[in-house]
Amino acid sequence: MSINKYKKLLAEKKRIIQATAQPGDALDKVKFVNFFNPNKYVKGSGDCFVRVLPRKNDLFFMQFRKHSFKVGTSWKNAFCFYSRDGSGETVGSECPFCDFIEENKTSLSRDTLYKLSAKNSHMFLVYNYQVDEVQKYEANDYRITDVLTAMQSGLADDETEDFDVDREGFDLYFKRGETGYAEVYKVEKPSVTISELMKSSKNFTEIPNLEREVIPPFNDSTLKSIRSMLELAVSVFEPTLADKSGEGVEKDEEEYTLGSGEGEFDPNDVEFSVEDEVIESEELDDDEDVEDIRNFLKNRKK
């Protein structure tokens, strides 16, 4: 059953966290899917749920790397072009942040290295029942592990010939946690199929291309934006190295950001860094599902 590969992916993710956790078109012409922020729906004692949408012939989420840092009350987030695409290929031939870190790693403080280094993130598409809209949700390693744990608990006995989690997705529930922020608490089999949902919806007519939502164009405009963001980061955290972060970069370039919005970046209320490597385990079966997932994760290793 297809749920098995997610169970094994969950085991891989838990071992990564336990082993390594630490404290084309112009962008303005592309219409991106809005972000889903569960925190706005779980105020008080309420909860909410969304339909996690499947991806054709792939896991429901896409893993990538990003650079995130906070200046004042605003979060700045830049895609790392040393991330891998759906085919396992490096997206770009350079990343301003990673290249700067490599060049100056002996001069940067440990705190700055942590702040500027790329961190794992995951994106998946959801149908928000409350607003009748397809949105995207970004999750860190801990949150995606919560989702996979809930899947294992909620769907392990539900898969039949009539229901396939990779064809129909699943309902993901959030509730208000002790910290006041939304947390995952269960997964359930959907009550309607994707086709039925589309028929009843005014806005949901197709499942968007998730890779296009995650990966920005690797072009001069995007790189200038990221270099400008890097200059800001260096001027704040390592001012003595500011002249090495880039020269002649225009300051008014539009930033390519990822997250729930400037000043309210989540994900997911916990800042951490996990190296993108797979820890081998004798407990995992060496079947095709496990190998597929190992290859999926290894291909995303820089």
- Model pLDDT for residues 228-267, shown as the tens digit of each residue: 999 999 999 998 887 665 544 444 444 555 544 444 556 5
Predicted local distance difference test score (pLDDT) of residue 32 = 86
The three-point CA angle 51-55-60 to 5° equals: 65
39: preceding bond cis by omega (within 30 degrees): no
CA distance 203 to 66: 30
Return the axis-axis angle of helices 3-20 and 288-298, rounded to nearest 10°: 40
Domain count, the chain: 1
Instruction: Tell me the pLDDT of the chain (302 aa) as tens digits.
Output: 677 778 777 777 777 666 555 544 444 456 789 999 999 999 876 789 999 999 988 999 999 999 999 998 889 999 999 999 988 999 999 999 999 999 999 999 999 999 999 999 999 999 999 999 999 999 999 999 999 999 999 887 776 667 889 999 999 999 999 888 999 999 999 999 999 999 999 999 999 999 999 999 999 999 999 999 999 999 999 988 876 655 444 444 445 555 444 445 565 654 444 333 332 333 334 444 445 544 544 454 44
Residues 150, 171: contact at Cβ < 8 Å?
Answer: no
Q: Looking at the DSSP assignment, which residues form a beta bridge with residue 184?
A: 174
CA 102, chain centre distance (Å)? 24
Predicted local distance difference test score (pLDDT) of residue 277 = 32
Residues 108, 236: contact at Cβ < 8 Å?
Answer: no
- Torsion sign, CA atoms 282, 288, 294, 295: positive
Q: Which of 171, 156, 160, 166 is nearest to 58 (CA)?
A: 166
Torsion of CA 75, 106, 272, 257, to 10 degrees: 30
Residues 99, 81: contact at Cβ < 8 Å?
Answer: no
Q: Domain limits at 263? A: 3-298
For the chain, list the strands marked E by DSSP.
Answer: 47-52, 61-71, 74-79, 119-128, 133-139, 170-176, 182-188
Output the CA–CA distances (angstroms, integers) from residue 110 to 34, 67, 233, 284, in the order listed: 35, 16, 15, 35
CA distance 13 to 20: 11
Which residue do the tokens 């779980």 mark?
Answer: 42
